[in-house]
Amino acid sequence: MIFDKWKKNKKQEIKAVSEGKIKNLENVKDEVFSKGLIGKGLAIIPEENTVRSPIDGILTVVFPTGHAFGITGKDGVELLIHIGIDTVNLKGEGFTILVKQGQEIKQGEPLVNCDFRLIEEKGYQTDILVIVTNHDQFCLEQVSHENEHVEAQQSIIYHCGRKNE
């Protein structure tokens, strides 16, 4: 497991962005993600078309193509939600953005609707990556594991806040 252990009495929850099956990040077919070059996290193979916010926070980045979102939590945790592999090449086709950059969002709030059938027909992987980009500042524990089915908004990662606190 690539995550640090910590006391669960301080946990903050990062929730599943969609119903689906968990895939460990190292099994994602993109070296930048699978080698953890952007951060630590996991992927969800989606079983529904809506992608939701995994935390309360501010949308710091909303890619105009709808394939990626940056969220900063109130405690400073920074998440990247990246939908699919190389889906930036679709130039927004198959994505209906439901939010705006700078917007305050709540955990569970829809970010984007995706036409995953279209995305797959165009030859792209549909893995939704949930990555803590500033993972070096937080204690993390993955609580959902490879091939496990998760419901949208089920806890998938705990974090304990900043390591130096």
Q: Which two tokens stand for residue 71?
A: 């969220």
Distance CA 126, CA 85 (A): 7
pLDDT in tens, 23-53: 999 999 999 999 999 999 999 999 999 999 9
Distance CA 81, CA 53 (A): 9
Question: Would you state the pLDDT for residue 161?
Answer: 67
Higher pLDDT pick, 71 / 161: 71
Contact 20, 42 (CB under 8 A): no
- Which of the four pLDDT bands, split at 50, 70 and 90, describes residue 6? very low
Q: Which amino acids are annotated catalytic?
A: 82
Q: Which two tokens stand for residue 116?
A: 């995953």
pLDDT in tens, 65-117: 999 999 999 889 999 999 999 999 999 999 999 999 999 999 999 999 999 99
Flag whether the pTM goes above 0.85.
Answer: yes
Distance CA 44, CA 53 (A): 13
Distance CA 140, CA 75 (A): 14
Q: Which residues pair with 150 in a beta bridge?
A: 20
